[in-house]
């Protein structure tokens, strides 16, 4: 399975992703695209991370979930809940690519 690149995610900042949950689909918004770590010109994949924001009540557990996006298509991501956002209380989730 190939995943979208850092640049592809960065171009979708602020957009909605539908995530398949245990009982129902949950909408998450791509809030932050952290830049690649290390030497981006080095051969091989680059490491970066994403932070998504979701509903404070409809929470997803840590694990692999199926994501769907209008431009990026469908892919599975392992996400970790980070806790509520200090600014608005929405739940934060992080996905790390390395």
Counted domains in the chain: 1
Residues 35-83: pLDDT tens digits? 877 665 666 667 899 999 999 888 899 999 999 999 999 999 999 999 9
Q: Are 92 and 83 in contact (CB under 8 A)?
A: yes
Q: Residue 76 domain-assigned?
A: yes
Any domain includes 1: no
Q: Which helix (H) or strand (E) holds 79?
A: strand 73-84
Query: Cα(36)–Cα(28) distance, rounded to whole angstroms?
Result: 22
Write out the two tokens for 3.
């995943």
- Assigned domain for 37 exists: yes
Q: Is 63 a domain residue? A: yes
Q: Which structural domain range is residue 59 located in?
A: 6-97
pLDDT digits (tens, 9 = 90+) for 4-44: 899 999 999 999 999 987 678 899 999 999 987 766 566 66
| CB contact set of 96 (below 8 Å; sequence gap of 6+) | 47, 48, 49
pTM of the predicted structure, to 2 decimals: 0.88
The residue with tokens 């030497």 is: 39
d(CA 46, CA 40): 6
């Amino acid at each position: 399975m190939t995943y979208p690149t850092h640049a592809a995610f960065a171009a979708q900042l602020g957009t909605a992703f539908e995530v398949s949950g245990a009982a129902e689909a949950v909408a998450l918004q791509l809030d932050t695209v952290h830049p690649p770590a290390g030497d981006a010109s080095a051969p091989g994949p680059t490491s970066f991370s994403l932070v998504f924001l979701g509903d404070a009540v409809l929470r997803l557990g840590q694990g692999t979930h199926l994501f769907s996006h209008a431009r990026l298509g469908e892919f599975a991501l392992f996400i970790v809940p980070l806790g509520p956002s200090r600014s608005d209380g929405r739940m934060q989730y992080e996905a790390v690519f390395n």
